[in-house]
Every structure is written in structure tokens, then in C-alpha cells.
């Protein structure tokens, strides 16, 4: 994965291969109906509960697919793997490395949530603290990889990562073929890219919408500009969605396959997080709640439709969920 040749976007066949590769190691998460979220907007709403996934988020899918595929190709050595992450991808890589039997190093922000750092270390990976932005972590991670010879497992901008995340879209349409819209949180864009590629190939009538914090809208701004752009660092509560730049591949996938990118405020994310806990009994982190936060604001686009909302992660610190 240190190969500098420009990779291509994965195909539906790549997503299917990823599904077969990782199936014995991950949970097939439930697709849960939600009347309390659906009735107010006049839609049938389902939640894809990746908050219940191993390592607490969808990230294990892409990380495991990338590491197992590297092992199949003979690119995985005793030097192990290295990644850079705000937390969830780091947990996914740490667990995937444990499954594959190799060491892992994860470069994380200095302000990483305690629950995420503890999980990464609990899976046996070594944590390196560096800066507060995704670019800080990437630069330090690539330096360490050159020094150690570890294989870099990037957080979103690689075909194997995107293909692994695309298995979320395959499961949604296998469980509920009538789905017409899928709402997906967007950070670097690996999840929305994979889902859009898979869903578009399986059911061309499905429209995929990405959802970003309004202060961390690098994908929306990039699409508006016609090319990937870098934005200032964000302080959004959705720490997993604060990528300052989308990947080249994920941008290309979004431009080709994503219907629109919607923005939500932090207060809307918090309200959705609280409602998910109180009404749906699901503990979801702020980043994982972003797509649910977009339901009410975009009811006109979603009314009378069958909608799947991806709850991308559940690594939340309970004391941070404010009371009403």
C-alpha cells in the first residue's frame, strides 16, 4: 500500500470479494426500523447499526480487507502495519492486525478520546500522539513508515479500504431491497464512496447522500470547487468527520456516484445522538449520528421514501451526552 501508482476505484466485484474475505471476522450488523424517526418526516426509516460492529464502527471492514488482501499478495511482513486516525480507523486497524497476527502502530491526535485510545491499546497496537489534524497525523505516519518499513493502511483513500466499506451498502440492499435513499456520514469519504459504488451498481434507483458537519465540510467544498481542496481544521464535536481534505479516490467516487452532500450543525448532531439513545436505545457517537441529524432538515427530499441511515460508530463517552 506504499505503491505510488495511481490506483483505480474499486468495482462491485471488488466489494463482493471484500465481503467474502472479511465475512468470518466481522458482525453482519442489523438494519433496524425506526418509526419515531420516520413518521415525523413521512418516510420509512431504517438504521444500519454499525455502532454495534466489532471495534465499535464500520472501520474494521476496510482495515481488515486491506490487511488480509496485503497478506494474500505477500506484502505483509513481520514489520507489521501502520496507520493514522482520529480513533475509529485506528481501532479497526489494531483489531485487524491482531486477527492477521501482525504488529500495528497507530498515529492519533493529541486530543483523542480516552475511550478510543484505550481500545486501540487494548487490541495490542502502539499509539503515537501527533498534532490535532488529519494532515498532521498523515505526515507523521508516513515518516514512521519510512523509518520502520511498516505497511501503511490509510484511513480512507485506497481501493481496498473503499471496497471494504462498500460491504455496508451491500448488506443494506440485501436486507431491504426497497431502499431508495441512503444517508452516510462523511469524513475522508471512504464509507460514502464504497456505499455509493456498491449501491449504484446493485440498484441504480438508489440515491446516496453524504452528511458532513457544517464546520468540516471538505467534501462539499471540494465538489463545489471541482477538485479536492483543503479546509481549516474544525472543532466539530464529530471528531471522526473532521478530515481537512477528502482523498483523491473518494472525491472521484463522490463526484461520480453521490447525489448530494448535506451539512448539519453540531447542535443537530447532539440532538440526534440523544434521540438515538433515548428512543432507539442505541449508543452512537457524534460522528455516527450525523446522518440521522440530516433527516428532519431534508424531509422534502426524503418524504414517502424508504431511507437507510448509516450509524457509523458507537465509540461515545456517555458523560458527554447532554441532558435535555
> pLDDT digits over 24-75, tens only?
999 999 999 999 999 999 999 999 999 999 999 999 999 999 999 999 999 9
pLDDT, mean of residues 296-303:
95
Supply the pLDDT for residue 2. 46
User: What residues are paired with 57 via a beta bridge?
Assistant: 313
Residues 289 and 314 occupy one common structural domain: yes
Residues 214 and 312 occupy one common structural domain: yes
User: Phi/psi zone of residue 159: left (φ > 0), alpha (ψ -120 to 50 degrees), beta?
Assistant: alpha
Domain containing residue 114: CATH number: 3.40.50.1100
pLDDT, mean of residues 145-169:
96
Q: Which domain holds residue 167?
A: 12-57+158-320
Place of cell 495511481: 6
Is 116 among the catalytic positions? no
Residues 190 and 290 occupy one common structural domain: yes
The catalytic residue among 48, 51, 59, 86 is 59
Residues 189 and 40 occupy one common structural domain: yes
DSSP string computed for 265-296? -HHHHHHHHHHHHHHS-----HHHHHHHHHHH
Is 3 part of any domain?
Answer: no
Q: With pLDDT > 90 as the criterion, what percentage of the chain qualifies?
A: 90
The catalytic residue among 51, 287, 289, 312 is 312
Any residues with CB less than 8 A from the CB of 196 and at least 6 apart, and which? 169, 184, 208, 253, 254, 257, 258
Neighbours of 82 (CB within 10 A): 28
Supply the pLDDT for residue 310. 98
Overall size of the chain counted in residues? 324
- Local confidence band at 113 (pLDDT 50, 70, 90 cut-offs): confident
Residues 256 and 143 occupy one common structural domain: no
Q: 68 to each of 25, 36, 78, 119, 195, how far by Cα in Å?
A: 11, 40, 14, 21, 20
Last residue of a domain, one of 152, 184, 215: 152
Supply the pLDDT for residue 144. 95
Could you give the CA distance from residue 273 to residue 290 in angstroms, rounded to a whole number? Answer: 8
Last residue of a domain, one of 113, 131, 152: 152
Any residues with CB less than 8 A from the CB of 105 and at least 6 apart, and which? 80, 81, 82, 83, 125, 126, 127, 128, 144, 148, 150
Is 218 among the catalytic positions? no
Place of cell 462523511: 186
Please tell me the total count of domains within the chain.
2
Place of cell 481549516: 232
Supply the pLDDT for residue 3. 46
Residues 103 and 175 occupy one common structural domain: no
Amino acid at each position: 500500500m506504499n505503491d505510488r501508482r495511481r490506483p483505480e476505484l474499486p468495482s462491485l466485484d471488488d466489494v463482493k470479494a471484500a465481503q467474502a474475505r472479511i465475512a468470518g471476522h466481522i458482525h453482519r450488523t442489523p438494519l433496524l426500523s425506526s418509526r419515531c424517526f420516520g413518521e415525523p418526516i413521512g418516510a420509512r426509516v431504517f438504521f444500519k447499526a454499525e455502532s454495534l460492529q466489532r471495534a465499535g464502527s464500520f472501520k474494521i471492514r476496510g482495515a481488515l480487507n486491506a490487511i488480509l488482501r496485503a497478506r494474500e499478495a505477500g506484502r505483509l511482513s513481520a514489520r507489521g502495519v501502520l496507520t493514522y486516525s482520529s480513533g475509529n480507523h485506528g481501532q479497526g486497524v489494531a483489531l485487524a492486525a491482531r486477527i492477521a497476527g501482525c504488529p500495528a502502530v497507530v498515529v492519533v491526535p493529541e486530543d483523542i478520546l480516552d475511550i478510543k485510545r484505550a481500545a486501540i491499546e487494548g487490541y495490542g497496537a502502539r499509539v503515537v500522539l501527533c498534532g490535532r489534524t488529519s494532515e498532521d497525523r498523515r505526515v507523521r505516519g508516513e515518516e514512521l513508515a519510512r523509518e520502520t518499513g511498516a505497511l501503511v493502511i490509510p484511513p480512507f483513500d485506497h481501493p481496498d479500504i473503499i471496497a471494504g466499506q462498500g460491504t455496508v451498502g451491500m448488506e443494506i440492499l440485501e436486507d431491504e431491497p426497497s431502499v431508495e435513499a441512503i444517508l452516510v456520514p462523511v469524513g475522508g469519504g471512504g464509507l460514502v464512496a464504497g456505499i455509493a459504488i456498491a449501491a449504484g451498481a446493485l440498484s441504480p434507483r438508489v440515491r446516496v447522500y453524504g452528511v458532513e458537519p457544517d464546520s468540516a465540510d471538505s467534501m462539499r467544498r471540494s465538489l463545489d470547487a471541482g477538485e479536492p481542496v483543503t479546509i481549516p481544521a474544525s472543532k466539530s464535536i464529530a471528531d471522526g468527520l473532521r478530515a481537512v481534505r477528502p482523498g483523491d479516490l473518494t472525491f472521484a467516487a463522490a463526484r461520480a456516484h453521490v447525489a448530494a452532500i448535506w451539512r448539519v450543525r453540531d447542535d443537530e448532531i447532539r440532538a440526534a445522538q440523544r434521540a438515538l439513545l433515548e428512543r432507539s436505545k442505541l449508543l452512537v457517537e457524534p460522528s455516527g449520528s450525523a446522518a440521522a441529524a440530516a433527516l428532519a432538515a431534508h424531509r422534502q427530499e426524503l418524504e414517502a421514501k424508504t431511507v437507510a441511515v448509516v450509524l457509523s460508530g458507537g465509540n461515545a463517552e456517555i458523560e458527554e451526552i447532554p441532558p435535555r
